[in-house]
C-alpha cells in the first residue's frame, strides 16, 4: 500500500516555481489566487499537458469554473500569460498556455531593481565624497564643484576609491582645487590606472626609480640618499600637452 502511494506520488511529478516569482509576484500585480492559478497551469505544462481543462483546474482550486475562466482572462489581459495556437503536421490546430510574458516581466522587474540599487549606491557614494571633499577643503563645495563630482562618478565612471586617492594626492601637494584633481584623474586614465592598488603600485615604481637615480652618480659612485620627492602625477600629462 505504502509503495503504491509512493509510486503514485512520484508519477505525479513536481512543479518548480522560481523563488523570485514568490518574492515579487505582488510587484507584478498578481493576486494570491492568480498566483495559485499560474502554479496550476505550470504544473500541467510540466506534465506535458499544454492546455489543461479549466474545469479540472477549478476542481483543484475548489472554485467555480466561471471564476477560474475569468481569472485566466484577467491574466491574459495583464499580459502575464498567453494562449498560443499552432498546427501539427496534419494541419490540426492545438492551443497551449505560454508563461513567456510572465518570465519577461519578472526579468524586467529584476533589471529595474538592479538599476535602482546601483543608482542608490552611486548616490550614497557621491554624498560620502561630498563630505570628504568639504572636510579636506575646509569649506562647502560650490554648485560647479558638486556637478563636477557627479560627472566623475556618473559620466567618467571613476570609482569613488580612485577619486579619494586623487583627492589625497592633491592634499599632499597642498593644491585644493578641482581642476588639479581632474587632471590627476585624466593622467591616471591615460595610464589605465583605475584602482587604489594600481595607484600605489605606480607610486612605488616612481619612488624606486627616484631612489635609484639619487643613489648613483654619473661616474657610478654612490652618494648619500636624500628624501624621495613626491610623485608628480601631472608631469607626463604636461609633457604630452607641450
Which tens digit of pLDDT belongs to each residue from 225-236?
A: 444 344 555 555
Amino acid 33: pLDDT = 94
CA-nearest of 35, 22, 28, 25 to 71 is 35
Beta bridge partners of 96: 84
224 pLDDT band (50/70/90 cuts)? very low
Which tens digit of pLDDT belongs to each residue from 197-209?
A: 888 888 788 777 7
Residue 105 lies in a domain: no
The percent of residues in the chain predicted with pLDDT above 90, rounded, is 45
Residue 222 lies in a domain: yes
CA-nearest of 106, 111, 105, 147 to 126 is 147
- Residues 130 and 222 placed together within one structural domain of the fold: yes
- Residues 148 and 204 placed together within one structural domain of the fold: yes
Give the whole-angstrom CA distance, residue 217 versus residue 214: 7
pTM metric for this prediction: 0.56
* Domain around 182: 120-241
Residue 110 lies in a domain: no
- In 73-185, beta strands by DSSP E: 82-87, 93-98
Give the whole-angstrom CA distance, residue 115 versus residue 117: 5
Which of 98, 129, 145 delimits the end of a domain? 98
Count of residues in the chain = 242
- Residues 77 and 148 placed together within one structural domain of the fold: no
Which tens digit of pLDDT belongs to each residue from 38-80?
A: 999 999 999 899 999 999 999 999 999 999 999 999 999 999 9
Residue 70 lies in a domain: yes
Residue 115 lies in a domain: no
Residue 242 DSSP label: -
Name the domain count of the chain. Answer: 2
Amino acid at each position: 500500500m505504502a509503495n503504491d502511494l509512493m509510486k503514485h506520488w512520484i508519477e505525479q511529478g513536481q512543479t518548480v516555481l522560481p523563488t523570485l516569482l514568490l518574492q515579487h509576484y505582488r510587484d507584478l500585480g498578481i493576486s494570491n489566487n492568480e498566483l495559485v492559478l499560474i502554479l496550476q497551469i505550470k504544473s500541467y505544462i510540466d506534465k506535458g499537458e499544454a492546455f489543461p481543462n479549466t474545469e479540472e483546474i477549478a476542481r483543484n482550486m475548489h472554485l467555480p469554473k466561471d471564476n477560474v475562466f475569468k481569472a485566466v482572462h484577467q491574466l491574459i489581459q495583464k499580459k502575464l500569460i498567453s494562449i498560443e495556437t499552432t498546427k501539427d503536421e496534419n494541419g490540426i490546430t492545438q492551443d497551449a498556455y505560454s508563461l513567456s510574458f510572465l518570465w519577461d516581466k519578472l526579468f524586467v522587474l529584476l533589471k529595474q531593481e538592479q538599476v535602482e540599487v546601483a543608482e542608490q549606491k552611486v548616490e550614497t557614494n557621491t554624498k560620502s565624497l561630498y563630505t570628504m571633499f568639504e572636510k579636506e577643503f575646509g569649506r562647502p563645495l560650490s554648485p560647479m564643484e558638486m556637478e563636477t563630482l557627479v560627472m566623475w562618478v556618473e559620466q567618467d565612471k571613476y570609482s569613488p576609491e580612485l577619486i579619494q586617492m586623487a583627492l589625497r594626492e592633491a592634499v599632499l601637494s597642498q593644491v585644493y582645487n578641482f581642476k588639479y584633481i581632474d587632471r590627476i584623474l585624466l593622467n591616471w586614465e591615460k595610464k589605465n590606472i583605475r584602482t587604489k592598488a594600481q595607484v600605489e603600485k605606480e607610486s612605488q615604481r616612481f619612488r624606486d626609480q627616484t631612489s635609484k637615480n639619487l643613489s648613483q652618480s654619473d661616474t657610478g659612485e654612490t652618494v648619500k640618499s636624500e628624501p624621495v620627492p613626491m610623485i608628480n602625477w601631472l608631469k607626463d600629462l604636461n609633457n604630452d600637452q607641450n
